[in-house]
Every structure is written in C-alpha cells, then in structure tokens.
Amino acid sequence: MAVQTVAGTADTTAAPTPNVDLGPAAALSCRECGERFELGPLFACASCFGPLEVAYELPTGAPEELRKRIEAGPDNIWRYAPLLPVPADVAEKPNLNPGFTKLVKADNLARELGVTGGLYVKDDSGNPTHSFKDRVVAIAVEAARAFGFTTLSCSSTGNLAGAVGAAAARAGLRSCVFIPHDLEQGKVVMAAVYGGELVGIEGNYDDVNRFCSELIGDPLGEGWGFVNVNLRPYYGEGSKTLAYEICEQLGWRLPDQIVIPIASGSQLTKIDKGFQELIKLGLVEDRPYKIFGAQAEGCSPVSAAFKAGHDVVRPQKPNTIAKSLAIGNPADGPYVLDIARRTGGAVEDVTDEQVVDAIKLLARTEGIFGETAGGVTVGVTKKLVEAGVIDPTLTTVVLNTGDGLKTLDAVSATSQATATIKPSLDAFRAAGLASA
C-alpha cells in the first residue's frame, strides 16, 4: 500500500511498532528535529527534548471513497478512525463515544455581532461529560490499553479530571486524577462521581502538572498512563476530530476563520493539524483559513507574547474565572504563536467581566449555555469583530468547549429569578410581567 507521511519533517516511513495496534499511527516524531521513535508512552524527544507527535500512514486513494467511508461511520469520533491512532475495531470497545456534536448556525448572535458571512458555534458541551475533553481522553484510553496501563491519570484544570474518571469507569480501568484544590464545585463533583480517586493539590495547575511529572518518574506512578503527560502525543490527536467534524458539517469545506480557546494550546495546534490532513487527503479544497486563539486576561501568556511580537511565552500566575483555561505556562504556546501568525490570525484576551457578558450573550441569543471557556471565545470574537481583525463577511466558527452548568458561579449573581411571588394571579399582575 502506498503511504503518505503527514506529521513531522521526516520523510521516512517507519514500520509500525510490533505488537502495538494503533491503526494508521506509524511512529512518534519529534516536532522540533523530526527524529522518529517507535510507538510507546513517550512524550519528549530523546535527542532534543522536543515534544513528540503521532506520525501516520494515512490512506491514499480516491478522496471520494474515504469521504463515503467516513459518512457511513458511527455518529461519533470513531467515524474518523482511519485518521486517528486507534485500532480499527475501536468502536466496538467499551468507551464513551464522544463527538459529532452540533455545529449551530448562530444567526441571532451573528446579527448582534454584525457578522454577515455565516457564524457557527461548535457546541462541545454536548459531549458525555459536557466538555471537549472527552475527545482527547477517548484516544488516550486506546493508547493506555495498547501499552498495558491499568491506572488512568492526569493533571487537570477540572474538565479533564471528569473526562478521565468517566472514561476509566467505562473502560474498566482504575483512575486517580489530580486537580488544583480550589476548583468550581461542579468540576470537583464531576471528577469524583465516577468513583475513581480524586486528589486536590494545594497549588495552581502548573504546580499540579509539575507534581505529575515527578510522579511519572517515580516507582509510585509505575503502570500509570497520564493522559496529558506520558500519553500526551496520543491524547492531543483527539482534538483533530473537531477540525474533521467542522469541515464535514460545513459540507466538506474549511471555515474561513475559527476562534479557539487556549489552555495548554494543544487543541488549537491539533485543529490546525486536522485541517492540514484534510487538505492533503483531498477531502477539502485547499484554501486559506485564519486561526484565532482566545484567552482570559487573567491568564494570557500566549496573547501577551503575540501582541509583543515574541516567539517565546513568558509564564504567568493565573487569576481568572476561566479556570479551565488557567494554565500559566502553556506547553504548546510557541506553536500556537506560529500557527496564528502563519494563518494570518491573532491571539486576543478578554476580561472576566467580558467573559460573563459573553456567556450571557450566547445564552440569550442562541440558547446555548457555555462555560467560562465559551465566554472567552465568544468575548474574543466580539472584540476582534469590533476591532476589524475578524472579517464579518467570511464564514466564522466559534468553539464552545464546555457546559455552563460546570461554572455556575460565573453567572449566578446576575442570573436569578425575575420575581418571587405568592401563587396568585393578583401577585403575578402586581409583578408587571403579564402579557396584557
């Protein structure tokens, strides 16, 4: 079979690693130097310490055939199994089957923002644990199975912990996840309810992440698959499915502009990778698209670097209500900067107050209650349209990556009953809400 190498700079086609069946995944390749490694629970290049990513032997042949095969697949991310590091029979295994969430044509919001070229909200609150994280975890579970890990773990800003707990429960794996101790109640409960171990760390996410890196190198963490550390190359690939779905839902067409929230930056870089693969495979027409990154001002290291024209990201100490995005030292920050600049996009941030306003704007115009991360993307979209950076005449997709029920505190003070009355018509009339 003819093969096509997509990831990395290497042009070699490594043989699939023996005994590890992760479908079209052929090897890991270093994003910096291109060196290739056998598939395994590795995340840093042995030569240059650069991050590793999955390189594929993707199907060649008529795009029309592949498109038909995808369209005939299940209504979840496994319809894209031929493009993911998962075994061919993945859909038959016990997992949460995330994905194929709604792409909502947001005409009311578009009118409010003055966007005429078509505005869409990709609403990932519809995933099994109500955030986009189910996508990345589903792929990491397959890697954990392939490498024989029996405990699933992660460092999390909240959503990931819930997604790992749920996926482990379904897959029959043990889970033990780590979060900053002061997260929103909705996230803590969701991380604990699936029955795995949940550990609150006295510190912020960056402290949690550092702790997990130490645990991996210690016998205490032996046999543990940390989805976003030693399984990170696989985990990250789950975000490509957002790119695939958006294009398929637009009728196999790239959006002109897309607004993506940034925590570690992984999601943004992998959506770009997904678009590039679809172009290479001939599944979409090769036309320019712009990628915009969105952060909260209280944790905006990538946005600050973008505006200053820097290539490196200076870490920050997070202080924002957008806790799911509160990573002060984002691993993929420099790659996000590259992509925003290469595609002609930008990285922007909004204040917590603008986040709250944007959550309510999306809810009021489209009936979608997003979490604070959704407030960040909608808020940044508004800001960039007003600044003339986002072109209102082009097709624009905005991601809502989580459910507002997880971050009720953000809006609870300003979202209360209009009136509280006695159960009588007189009382209702007195409240001034009657139609006549």
Ligand X SMILES: *Cc1c(COP(=O)(O)O)cnc(C)c1O
Q: Which positions touch ligand X (CB under 6 A)? A: 131-133, 159, 261-267, 324-325, 371, 373, 401-402
**Residues near 337 by beta carbon (within 8 Å), at least 6 away in sequence:** 302, 305, 306, 310, 311, 313, 347
**Residues near 293 by beta carbon (within 8 Å), at least 6 away in sequence:** 260, 261, 262, 265, 268, 302, 303, 306, 336, 340, 345, 346, 347, 348
Q: Minimum distance from CB of 299 to ligand X (Å)?
A: 11
Q: Which is nearer to ligand X, 90 or 163 (CB)?
A: 163
Q: Which is nearer to ligand X, 215 or 322 (CB)?
A: 322
Q: Which is nearer to ligand X, 5 or 303 (CB)?
A: 303
- The encoded tokens of residue 420 equal 């509280």
Length of the chain: 436
Q: Minimum distance from CB of 170 to ligand X (Å)?
A: 19
**Cβ of 195: how many Cβ atoms within 10 Å?**
12
Q: What's the rounded Cα separation, in Å, for the pair 417 and 133?
A: 32
> Do residues 282 and 63 lie in contact, with contact meaning Cβ atoms separated by under 8 Å?
yes
Q: What's the rounded Cα separation, in Å, for the pair 405 and 187?
A: 9
Q: Minimum distance from CB of 159 to ligand X (Å)?
A: 3
Q: Which is nearer to ligand X, 85 or 87 (CB)?
A: 85
DSSP string, 11-43: ---PPPPTT---TTEEEEEETTT--EE-SSS--
Q: What's the rounded Cα separation, in Å, for the pair 307 and 425?
A: 57
- The encoded tokens of residue 387 equal 């600044």
Q: Minimum distance from CB of 2 to ligand X (Å)?
A: 33
Q: Minimum distance from CB of 239 to ligand X (Å)?
A: 6
Q: Which is nearer to ligand X, 36 or 273 (CB)?
A: 273
Q: Minimum distance from CB of 414 to ligand X (Å)?
A: 21
Q: Which is nearer to ligand X, 93 or 341 (CB)?
A: 341
Q: Which is nearer to ligand X, 25 or 299 (CB)?
A: 299
Q: Minimum distance from CB of 287 to ligand X (Å)?
A: 25
State CA 398 to chain mean position distance: 12
